[in-house]
Structure 1
Amino acid sequence: MSPQRTQNDQRFRARISKPLAVSRLAAPDYALTLLLALGGLFNSNAALAQDVKKTSAQTEQTEAQTDEAKLEKVTVTARRREENVQDVPTPITTVSGATLEQQKVYRVQDLQQILPSVNVAYIHARQSSIAVRGIGNNPASDGLEGSAGIYLDNIYLGRPGMAVFDLLDVEQLELLRGPQGTLFGKNTTAGVINITTRKPTFTPERSVEISGGERGYFQGKGTVSGPLTETLAGRLSAYRTREDGYIDNQHDDRTFIGGEREGARGQLLFEPNEDFNLRWITDYNQEKSTNGVWALYGVSDRFRERAALIGGNPQYDPKKREVNIDSDQAVNVWQGGTSLEANWTLGSGHTFTSISGYRYWHFVPLNDTDLTDAPALIHGGVEVHDRQFSQEFRLASPTGGAFDYVVGAYLFNQNLGNKTVQEFGPLADLFLTGVNRNIFNNATSQTNGKIETDSYALFAQGNWHLTDRLDFTAGVRGTYEEKQARVHRFDPSGGAPLTGPLAAARRNQMGSLDTGDFGLHNAAPSGLLSLSYKITDGLLGYASLAHGEKSGGVNLVAPSAGFGSDSLVVGPERANDAELGFKSTQLDGRLLFNANLFWTGIHGYQATTLTTNGSSLTPVSVLANAGSVRSRGVEFETSYLPFQGLTLNFNGSYNDVTYLSFKDAPCPGEVSTVNPTAVCDLTGERVVGASKWIGNFNGEYQWRLGNGLQPYVTAGYSYRSEAEGTLDNSDLSKIDGYGLVNASIGVRADVGEGQLDASAWIKNATDKDYYLTAFAFSNGAYTASVGQPRTAGVSLRYDF
């Protein structure tokens, strides 16, 4: 039997014998029908499965008796080969799929509740971003990559919104902090979140799970996996989620931040011998929701005046979890992709890997953009259609000698188009300008943008084992990237006929404009130097220096009057990073404690914001290199198994993120509404979205009562301190610190040929009011994305 097949079978046996946590999902009828149909393919292996389970139970019982109270070893692929995470000299946090299920974490926006140094800014799938160590807090910009990269089964996701779906059938999630440009496909300056899903198994494996909770929450999922032939295994997973939402509308009986999500993932694993395996994955996800509703968070005097002028009645208190809007609100997302990964072990002991991936993402919004019940800004939103293809080749040398290495090549192509539509009502002029001149009233504006990105890279990294305990690592990567873009704004439709100066004013704000083709290209080096020393068998110390670069960006909006397409281009973002840390395994494997100091300097920090200049009557999106930024601090994480049945995990960070130079920053709304031409200096101020203190705790205690009964309780607490809400550091947009409490209680029992898990759970047990991110809005006001209120529910899962 091949090592891969053995590993898959061991994972299955471990899931049957060890505590299983429950996440919340509800499979659609067609998905369950398909799962049951495919389940029939594995019935011929039922007898074999029963024998395996009996043998597995005996094996696990023996292992438990001889190896009690010891934490499991965690394997990662951070250096593109399988290694014990405690042997990798870089800060890595790993979260198993079982832990995600146990903590009821199934959305990307909830990852900051379990990961150190992570902030997630989320409004909806397009306006989402992930920051690591305070770097990467950018609202949506379709021509700009994130500072923190997201990978799904070794495929880079070109848009952060491609990760906004229910986390389904996850094997492990890894967070790598600091620049990761040497070995990962796209250069990143802040870090990487690497998500790995469970592979097909050559042992039959099936699970079904349903959950229900408050506010119409219902979720279900199912998985079936097993052999199709002696050399081919398959896996199919599906989910469906629906919920009513938790933000009520005063204008009518609608409730927002709810909707439906569904998806499926199918896989085949071909393994004819120990030297070759081929894994094919395809997935599809769909969302139809009312996400994207902003609550007024910080309100300027200008906004209050304009709202009164049009007779609007906004909801000014976000803690009531209410809004007052009269237009449509919807978000539709269709996305999916396919990938093919092949691994050959050559006669020389080298491993050659090829990873091909294609993904698409289609986002369609419909938003009320004045947040009042008056007809001013009826609809605004940006539709995005994105397609990407990537190809990676890697060659990894055998290990065990004095030197080992990984070399490879990577290419990435992305085609993205967007369409921005603004539909103005009869009171638009009064709301936007305070004077009714019929410039915007009843008009509709449309702008189309497109960008094509081509990226090519060569990389290499080597490890010199200078002694049995001392290792030196060096890595280098060269990347060349081109971006070609075009922005076309059409003449407005509708509106009153105008002549003279008023017609000129309308043309200035909304008239036809075509930038023609423009873009950028750049070559970027990345590098890594690392020295690690195994002080004792259970203690590893390390120090490293790294350089990473993220390519320049393009703003796909019409340039402000008087500015050409050059104003829409920003240069690359460059990061220099230093790390000093240790990893320790103590108390006979019952305690893991890791900590590190870090210092990162960012030059040309890329940022987007909403601002008003002297020639514009409406807010415009600005993309700029925001000077230089320094991020420094300390991180730690620990896992402790004080005795059999009790597992405790704790991680945290202190992060000081400051603008070292940002002299031409946008001014906050309380200043820009008084002086639209003002320019502010944020040098020495804190960077947007970065909490200084972050701490996450979770634990589980499980009793073993015999007869297959395993009662358990889990608890989790997540805290983050206050943060600046928007790039302009307005007092109106600061995000208060908050702590969230989650808990569950349940029992696992052997039923039939499988294990039944029934639990009751609660999220945000104290019903804390909290906000994920803030956003600059019209007339100097600020909006916020409201966090989920207290939600209780029950889950039922059966693994067999």
Structure 2
Amino acid sequence: MRKSNPTSLLIGALLATTAPATPAWSATADNAPEDAAANAAADPALPGDILVTARRRQEAAQDVPLAISVLDSRAIEGTGSFNVSRITQLQPSLQFYSSNPRNSAANIRGLGAPFGLTNDGIEQGVGVYIDQVYNSRIAAATFDFLDVEQVEVLRGPQGTLYGKNTTAGAINITTRAPSFDFEGRAEITVGNLEFVQAKASVSGPLVEDRLAVRLAASKGSRRGTIYNVATDRWVNEQDNLGLRGVLLWRATDALDLTLSADYNRQDPECCAQIYVRTGATQRPLSRQFAALAAAFNYAPPSTNAFDRLTDLDSALDAYQEIGGVSLRAEWDLGPGTLTSVSAWRFWNWGPSNDRDFTGLPITTISANPSKQDQYSQEFRYAVTSDRIDYVVGLFAYHQRQHTTGAQEQGPAASRWLLNPTSANANNPAVLDGLRSENDILLKTTSLAAFGQLSWHVTDRLKLQPGVRVNYDRKSGSYEAVVHTGTGELLVCNPAPTNSVTRDQCATLPPQSYSPKFSDWNISGDFTLSYEIADDVLGYATYAKSFKSGGINLAGLPLDANNTPILSAQTVKPEDVNHFEIGLKTQFWDRRATFNVAGFWTEISDYQATVTNGQLGVLRGYLANADKVRVRGIEADFSVRPVDSLSLYASGAFTDHEYVKFVDAPCPPELAGGTAAQPGQTPSAPGTPGGISPANCDISGQWLPGISKWAFSYGAEYRLPVALLGLDGEAYAAFDGNYRSKFSSNASRSAYTDIAGYSVANFRIGFRADDRWDASFWVRNAFDEDYYEVLATQSGSTGLVVGQPADPRTYGLTIRTRF
């Protein structure tokens, strides 16, 4: 079969492009957008330069040869995008999935993290940076933004300047700096679902021209969107608190020291996944969901997930704290600037879940509280000159994470989880009270040296090579101690002959192992950019990147003697080859911006989710798929045809597949049956009591979480008016987004595809004198029913559960500056 050439395909695709496809905000707002009332909130088409730090130095976004989206504070506030999840509605290439804060994933162009898997020993492929500090846990992205000035979404590998785990891109969040003029801000929002959110910040000098401080706080709460009939309570609520303090000391005219501290807390009753549908598996019919539910005279409170009802009988909690302290020094030294960023971050996680997703006592306890500390130090020296710009640096990072978990089975577990051929399947006492207590420890150390150079060959032609050398060392331990319902220690090695013990061992096997991993890696990139004309920049990039190898810390598959298969305890690094070409343009007196990029990314040893054959094991583990490929086209267009009207449209076309993954987990319709023996032909999908393959070849299938088409679009119209004695402007705005169908399972299943959907948001308001802004807003205005994520119940029962997205919400927001 003839193979396509990546470069020729991308060039052809770009030439054929006539529709826009990604962020409209990146060439839009003014340099100092908050100093003029004309620079209205969420206006993505104002002339001027947005300043970004994507290359670790300040420059105009349109001059950066990189696919980058920028949201300033007014765009964030104006569209109600108060966290990373909300930003996905404005950025078609950014995806964020979360069944709870710990089990979250931020992906860019569909890459970044294995879908739907919590495993302490792996890392994200999208780096989250807040004020230049790397946050190793994606849970940081679940908090509400606090006093944020700007969010940059960098698409494509960023490993040279941002580090090992940015194979898909980076999210670079910058908060407001202390000011030497007194200023303050306050905001209050009230809405349906008992939504209340308040934010405030104040800044000013402590010592004139030398010492300034900034303090900020936020508090928000909202009633849950799912009603639990078992507890008579609304769940999946919001309860967020944020505090931040920043001290700026201008020690000399050449040296600034910035000390920051922050604390964020969430304490919601969350996170419920509820009944969506059932689908036939290979398990015997008597052990599929309908028959099992009938045996217990059980029925879910509704079979329509958008009735938003559940009857979960285990406690739900998603308590977490995250925060830390950082010290940034910026010293003008010689021809450049020396920057030091020292940071300590912590994350405390105290969850409780109902892992069987029903009102039956199957798994009565599922909780994995965790605590993490991380320390990082970065030194950078950046120089800008007429012919040569460069950044060189060193980075060191250490992380320690300790998780102590518990899982306990209830009286319904035997019938629900045990192999139907077992004589114990109908004996509740076999699994009732079976309890596994886990102790999981992870230590990670990373060291790196990096550099990137930009050579101005001519006034229009630039060459930009970069390289990063990285060392990783990880060590961990996993220990699961299991007791039976009578309090006896469960021993599973050697393999027991007693059927009761054998079934207990198949459900919650005790195991202990201590994985280790270390490796050196070299990342690099090379970019050629050419200023074709004024305000027209073309670029081409090749990047060789990697995502750090990992260790499995969620339990391993066991051999016939119930001994952990140690060959599965480590996972190889991902090896990334990335090609990209792009064009960045402004025209019509800079009233219009059109940017387009085409990319081709191939990953060898892709870190993917696999499963073992033990029916009672609720979590899979990591392994390497041979190869995946993601390629596509993105573009964005924004325009201000007249002073009173701004328009934008963005979109992304993404083609994606497992190029080679021959030993993947099978989808639910092929799981749960008798294991195929050599020479046996597996049964057709969804054959009750059939023969299931040991694994499946999903080469050529979709990757999870990626829509082929994604768009965002919007408009704002402004009209000068006077109201209550204030001169200002009334405005009406709209923003919307669309995503086509995508898979919500590691191996694509007919039961877990999420249908395409579109969401429309509206707002009307009045702003005056750059001091007051009041708006009424409606999100999901047409009350679109759609799912954020779908999943399957353990044990191949055929139950599919999911999280319905927010229904229509509306409210009033008032902001003031003083």
**8 Å contact kept, 1:311–1:374:** no
Match of 2:395 in 1: 410
Displacement of 1:97 after TM fit?
1.4
Match of 1:747 in 2: 766
The answer on 1:444 being equivalent to 2:405 is no
Match of 1:757 in 2: 773
Match of 1:480 in 2: 471
Displacement of 1:430 after TM fit?
1.0
Match of 1:543 in 2: 540
Displacement of 1:756 after TM fit?
1.9
Q: Give me the whole-angstrom Cα distance separating, in 1, the residues matched to 2:778 and 2:98.
A: 22
Match of 2:554 in 1: 557
For the structure 1 residues 70 and 113, does the alpha-carbon distance in structure 2 shift closer, same or farther, using more than 3 Å as the test?
Answer: closer
User: Residue by residue, what CA displacement relative to the aligned partner does 1:492-534 show, whole Å, maximum 9, x if unpaired?
Assistant: 253487993322442454354321x321111111011111110
Which residue of 114, 124, 135 maps to 1:146?
Answer: 124
Paired amino acid for 1:578 = F
Q: Give me the whole-angstrom Cα distance separating, in 2, the residues matched to 1:472 and 1:97.
A: 33
Q: Give me the whole-angstrom Cα distance separating, in 2, the residues matched to 1:244 and 1:397.
A: 51
Paired amino acid for 2:636 = E
Displacement of 1:674 after TM fit?
2.5
Where do 1:490-501 residues align within 5 Å?
A: 490-492=481-483, 494-495=485-486, 500-501=498-499
Displacement of 1:709 after TM fit?
2.2
Displacement of 1:312 after TM fit?
2.9
SS in 1 for 2:48: coil
The answer on 1:368 being equivalent to 2:354 is yes
**8 Å contact kept, 1:117–1:653:** yes
For the structure 1 residues 662 and 501, does the alpha-carbon distance in structure 2 shift closer, same or farther, using more than 3 Å as the test?
Answer: same
* More off after superposition, 304-313 vs 272-281: 304-313
Paired amino acid for 1:631 = V
Please state which structure has a larger fraction of its residues in helix.
1
**8 Å contact kept, 2:80–2:86:** no
Displacement of 1:728 after TM fit?
1.5
Match of 1:580 in 2: 581
Q: Give me the whole-angstrom Cα distance separating, in 2, the residues matched to 1:119 and 1:461.
A: 28
Match of 2:14 in 1: none
Q: Give me the whole-angstrom Cα distance separating, in 2, the residues matched to 1:543 and 1:569.
A: 35
User: Residue by residue, what CA displacement relative to the aligned partner does 1:56-96 show, whole Å, maximum 9, x if unpaired?
Assistant: xxxxxxxxxxxx98523101111111111111111111111
Q: Give me the whole-angstrom Cα distance separating, in 2, the residues matched to 1:223 and 1:211.
A: 15
**8 Å contact kept, 1:432–1:618:** no
Where do 1:517-528 residues align within 5 Å?
A: 517-528=514-525
Match of 1:303 in 2: 289
Q: Give me the whole-angstrom Cα distance separating, in 2, the residues matched to 1:262 and 1:619.
A: 32
* More off after superposition, 367-376 vs 90-99: 367-376
Match of 2:321 in 1: 334
Query: Which stretches in structure 2 are left out of the alignment for 5+ residues?
Result: 1-29, 281-287, 491-496, 676-691
Where do 1:671-686 residues align within 5 Å?
A: 671-675=670-674, 678=693, 679-686=695-702
SS in 2 for 1:109: helix
For the structure 1 residues 776 and 570, does the alpha-carbon distance in structure 2 shift closer, same or farther, using more than 3 Å as the test?
Answer: farther
User: Residue by residue, what CA displacement relative to the aligned partner does 1:593-647 show, whole Å, maximum 9, x if unpaired?
Assistant: 10011101011111225x451x554444121112211111100012211111322
**8 Å contact kept, 1:555–1:568:** yes
The answer on 1:177 being equivalent to 2:155 is yes
Displacement of 1:713 after TM fit?
1.2
Q: Give me the whole-angstrom Cα distance separating, in 1, the residues matched to 2:463 and 2:433.
A: 66
Match of 1:44 in 2: none
Displacement of 1:357 after TM fit?
1.1
Displacement of 1:15 after TM fit?
6.2
Q: Give me the whole-angstrom Cα distance separating, in 1, the residues matched to 2:646 and 2:607.
A: 41
**8 Å contact kept, 2:395–2:448:** yes
The answer on 1:234 being equivalent to 2:234 is no
**8 Å contact kept, 1:531–1:543:** yes
Which residue of 688, 692, 700 maps to 2:716?
Answer: 700
Paired amino acid for 1:605 = Y
Paired amino acid for 2:599 = F
SS in 1 for 2:92: coil
SS in 1 for 2:239: strand
For the structure 1 residues 69 and 542, does the alpha-carbon distance in structure 2 shift closer, same or farther, using more than 3 Å as the test?
Answer: closer
**8 Å contact kept, 1:213–1:794:** yes
SS in 2 for 1:99: helix
Paired amino acid for 2:352 = L
Q: Give me the whole-angstrom Cα distance separating, in 2, the residues matched to 1:120 and 1:648.
A: 25
TM-score normalised according to structure 2 size: 0.87
Q: Give me the whole-angstrom Cα distance separating, in 1, the residues matched to 2:125 and 2:803.
A: 21
Q: Give me the whole-angstrom Cα distance separating, in 1, the residues matched to 2:240 and 2:42.
A: 22
Match of 2:734 in 1: 715
Paired amino acid for 2:172 = N
Where do 1:634-649 residues align within 5 Å?
A: 634-649=633-648
Where do 1:213-224 residues align within 5 Å?
A: 213-224=191-202
Displacement of 1:241 after TM fit?
0.5
Match of 2:416 in 1: 431
Q: Give me the whole-angstrom Cα distance separating, in 1, the residues matched to 2:637 and 2:323.
A: 36
For the structure 1 residues 367 and 608, does the alpha-carbon distance in structure 2 shift closer, same or farther, using more than 3 Å as the test?
Answer: same
Q: Give me the whole-angstrom Cα distance separating, in 2, the residues matched to 1:779 and 1:312.
A: 18
**8 Å contact kept, 2:318–2:351:** yes
Q: Give me the whole-angstrom Cα distance separating, in 1, the residues matched to 2:566 and 2:212.
A: 52
SS in 1 for 2:482: coil
TM-score normalised according to structure 1 size: 0.89
User: Residue by residue, what CA displacement relative to the aligned partner does 1:274-318 show, whole Å, maximum 9, x if unpaired?
Assistant: 311111111101111122211223423422332333333224321
Match of 1:628 in 2: 627
The answer on 1:465 being equivalent to 2:462 is no
RMSD over aligned Cα, in angstroms? Answer: 2.1
**8 Å contact kept, 2:464–2:527:** yes
**8 Å contact kept, 2:269–2:316:** yes
Paired amino acid for 2:623 = A
For the structure 1 residues 622 and 69, does the alpha-carbon distance in structure 2 shift closer, same or farther, using more than 3 Å as the test?
Answer: closer
Q: Give me the whole-angstrom Cα distance separating, in 2, the residues matched to 1:503 and 1:655.
A: 49
